[in-house]
Amino acid sequence: MKRIFLVYTVDRSDAFDQVARSHEAWEADVGLWFVNSGDSLSRLYHALKRALKPTQTFLVAPLPERPKFKNLSAGSLAWIIARIPK
């Protein structure tokens, strides 16, 4: 079963295309991504950590329900609504 994860990276924000090639992902803001993955939290975290090699703040967290947010990139809400049922 796939889940949505929130990924935040400070120094590898330019690497979104790299992540999007291997995962269904959405760039919500610079360095802030939604990733749709069937991997466990640990597996996704370590896969992204190996691929991105971040040296600063790096976060991967599951989103069990639709988050509330404002001023993210156009289409972010539609992307989330399509993947996280109400």
Q: Where are the alpha helices (DSSP H) in the chain?
A: 16-22, 41-52, 76-83
Is 24 among the domain residues?
yes
pLDDT for the residue 15: 92
Question: What total number of domains does the chain contain?
Answer: 1
Is 55 among the domain residues?
yes
Is 8 among the domain residues?
yes
Check pLDDT > 90 for residue 2.
Answer: yes
Is 35 among the domain residues?
yes
pLDDT for the residue 85: 87
pLDDT for the residue 21: 93
**Tens digits of residue pLDDT in 15-60:** 999 999 999 999 999 999 999 999 999 999 999 999 999 999 999 9
pLDDT for the residue 19: 92
Residue 81 is given by DSSP the state H
Is 84 among the domain residues?
no
Does the predicted TM-score (pTM) go above 0.85?
yes
Is 81 among the domain residues?
no
Residue range(s) defining the domain that contains residue 40: 3-64
14 pLDDT tier (thresholds 50, 70, 90): confident
Q: Is 14 exposed, middle or buried (0-12, 13-18, 19+ CB in 10 A)?
A: exposed
